[in-house]
């Protein structure tokens, strides 16, 4: 039994040759290879793990359960996930759920009563992430750990030490192959390939925003709204009373959002790191967690003027979307009706307990509509009808994700009913 699994082929990743893509240990990869029977299963496993990890991450940042569920749902079904993580690199190469899980545990280390106990699973997840063999995910973890340790350092140096220790432990387990690091290609340059711009990354609320991004071969990527993450992110900005906000405690996540944003817009090559586009999920996760952290403070104000500004901002991003890629954007223009309707309905739900339910349902509706609209695009996931016709769709495992969704919905419904009962 060859558990090491290391041979010449582990170096043969064609696209990211310079990245640490050799996955020598491949614990999770190995498990998925053993237990999965088809690629569709892997997708579902990946998505399930993603939802769980994101939920844990949001909870680690103190978000309410409902908010955590909404964000977990939104981020795990973004077009970026479908087009790049699942479609191109997904279950086989994507370690995002591991990173988000490790991020959650490292964050928990800042507050848990038993950091010594938490440090071990955190170290294990760091190890698993590194063993996945992607330089980007490794760098992300180091950045996250540094941010968490930095945030807690002034108040409690011991906890900062636990965070550092868990990361070092995870890294140490990888020491046997450290010598191969010398084989990495470095460099610092930017030729613009797979490098999004600031506007492209920040415009994450418009479902027809199909940005011009050059692929690795110098062509534009296919027209797909790869940066669309959450329709509600931009409108929420206008309903928050910014003057009454407490910024205390948000420095860490805000800093991470800033760092990830910088990494996402380039340069194309930064030592062993390449393809800044792959930082986009981190930016989106950090920004959305930050947004919900602020929104949960209860300083949401409903007014016609704010609704007007939200619509104006939506109109501007829609204009930019059409101008960026006119022909496909106009083709997909009917899709804009959905967020417009959702924005109009948002004030009704904004200060009620059913807001998360509303956001979750609308997110799901928009996700399906987006997939449907862009199903013809290259790299797009199959048309929903084709998905349903596929035998894998009726695999028992396939019902897990809807079951989770149903559980979330049931939870919201129960919470709302309880809340209504209390008010009455």
Min separation Cβ 236 and another protein, Å = 20
Asked if 320 touches another protein (CB under 8 A), the answer is: yes
Min separation Cβ 276 and another protein, Å = 9
Decide whether 161 or 199 has the Cβ nearer to another protein: 199
Please report the DSSP string for 73-107 in residue order. HHHHT-HHIIIIIIIIIHHHH--HHHHHHHHHHHH
Piece of 35-43, 68-76, 199-207, 300-308 that binds another protein (CB under 8 A): 199-207
Q: Radius of gyration over alpha carbons of the chain, in Å?
A: 21
Contacting residue, 115, 266, 281, 356, with another protein by CB under 8 A: 266
Asked if 14 touches another protein (CB under 8 A), the answer is: no
Asked if 190 touches another protein (CB under 8 A), the answer is: yes
- Measure the CA–CA gap between 277 and 327, rounded to whole angstroms: 24
For 122-145, what is the HEC assignment? HHHHHHHHHHCCCHHHHHHHHHHH
Asked if 10 touches another protein (CB under 8 A), the answer is: no
326-355: contacts with another protein (CB under 8 A): 326-327, 330
- Measure the CA–CA gap between 304 and 424, rounded to whole angstroms: 28
Asked if 191 touches another protein (CB under 8 A), the answer is: yes
Contacting residue, 117, 251, 302, 316, with another protein by CB under 8 A: 316
Residues 222 and 378 sit within 8 Å (Cβ to Cβ): yes
Q: Is 188 helix (H, G, I), strand (E, B) or coil?
A: strand
* x/- track of binding to another protein for residues 243-262 (CB under 8 A): -------------------x
Asked if 267 touches another protein (CB under 8 A), the answer is: yes
- Measure the CA–CA gap between 80 and 227, rounded to whole angstroms: 6
Contacting residue, 67, 129, 136, 200, with another protein by CB under 8 A: 200
Asked if 322 touches another protein (CB under 8 A), the answer is: yes
Decide whether 242 or 399 has the Cβ nearer to another protein: 242
- Measure the CA–CA gap between 394 and 155, rounded to whole angstroms: 52
Angle 329-224-97 (CA atoms, 0-180°, nearest 5)? 145
Which residues are within 8 A (CB) of 318 and not within 5 positions of it... i.e. 6 or more apart?
206, 208, 336
Decide whether 159 or 306 has the Cβ nearer to another protein: 306
Min separation Cβ 13 and another protein, Å = 21
Decide whether 67 or 200 has the Cβ nearer to another protein: 200
Piece of 106-114, 213-221, 244-252, 343-351 that binds another protein (CB under 8 A): 213-221
- Measure the CA–CA gap between 211 and 226, rounded to whole angstroms: 8
Decide whether 32 or 197 has the Cβ nearer to another protein: 197
- Measure the CA–CA gap between 163 and 30, rounded to whole angstroms: 27
- Measure the CA–CA gap between 107 and 101, rounded to whole angstroms: 10
215-244: contacts with another protein (CB under 8 A): 217-220
Piece of 100-108, 156-164, 244-252, 321-329 that binds another protein (CB under 8 A): 321-329
Decide whether 63 or 322 has the Cβ nearer to another protein: 322
Length of the chain: 424
Residues 400 and 48 sit within 8 Å (Cβ to Cβ): yes
Interacting residues toward another protein by CB under 8 A: 188-192, 195, 197-200, 202, 212, 214, 217-220, 262, 265-267, 316, 319-320, 322-327, 330
């Amino acid at each position: 039994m060859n558990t090491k699994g290391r041979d010449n082929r582990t170096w043969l990743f064609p696209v990211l040759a310079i990245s640490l893509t050799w996955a020598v240990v491949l614990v999770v990869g190995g498990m998925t290879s053993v237990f999965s029977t088809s690629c569709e299963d892997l997708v579902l496993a990946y998505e399930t793990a993603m939802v769980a990890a994101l939920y844990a991450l949001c909870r680690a940042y103190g978000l309410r359960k409902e908010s955590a569920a909404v964000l977990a749902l939104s981020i795990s079904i973004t077009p970026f996930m479908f087009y790049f993580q699942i479609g191109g690199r997904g279950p086989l190469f994507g370690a995002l759920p591991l990173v988000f899980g490790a991020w959650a545990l490292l964050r928990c280390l800042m507050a848990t009563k038993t950091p010594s106990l938490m440090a071990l699973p955190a170290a294990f997840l760091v190890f698993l992430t590194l063993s996945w063999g992607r330089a980007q995910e490794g760098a992300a973890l180091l950045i996250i750990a540094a941010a968490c340790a930095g945030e807690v350092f002034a108040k409690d140096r011991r906890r900062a030490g636990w965070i550092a220790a868990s990361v070092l432990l995870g890294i140490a387990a990888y020491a046997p192959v450290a010598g191969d690091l010398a084989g990495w290609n470095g460099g610092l340059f930017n030729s613009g390939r797979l490098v999004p711009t600031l506007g492209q990354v920040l415009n994450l609320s418009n479902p027809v925003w199909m940005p011009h991004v050059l692929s690795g071969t110098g062509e534009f990527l296919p027209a797909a709204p790869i940066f669309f993450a959450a329709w509600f992110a931009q409108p929420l900005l206008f309903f928050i009373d910014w003057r009454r906000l407490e910024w205390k405690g948000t420095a860490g996540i805000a800093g991470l959002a800033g760092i990830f944003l910088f990494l996402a817009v380039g340069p194309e090559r930064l030592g062993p790191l390449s393809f800044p586009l792959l930082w986009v999920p981190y930016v989106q996760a950090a920004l959305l967690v930050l947004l919900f952290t602020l929104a949960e403070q209860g300083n949401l104000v409903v007014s016609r003027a704010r609704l007007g500004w939200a619509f104006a901002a939506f109109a501007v991003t829609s204009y930019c979307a059409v101008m960026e890629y006119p022909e496909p954007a106009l083709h997909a223009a009917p899709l804009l009706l959905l967020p417009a309707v959702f924005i109009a309905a948002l004030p009704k739900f904004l200060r009620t307990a059913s807001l998360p339910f509303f956001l979750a349902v609308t997110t799901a509706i928009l996700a399906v509509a987006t997939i449907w609209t862009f199903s013809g695009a290259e790299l797009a996931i199959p048309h929903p009808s084709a998905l349903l016709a596929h035998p894998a769709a009726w695999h028992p495992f396939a019902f897990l994700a809807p079951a989770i969704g149903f559980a979330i919905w049931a939870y919201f419904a129960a919470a709302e009913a309880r809340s209504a009962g209390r008010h009455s």
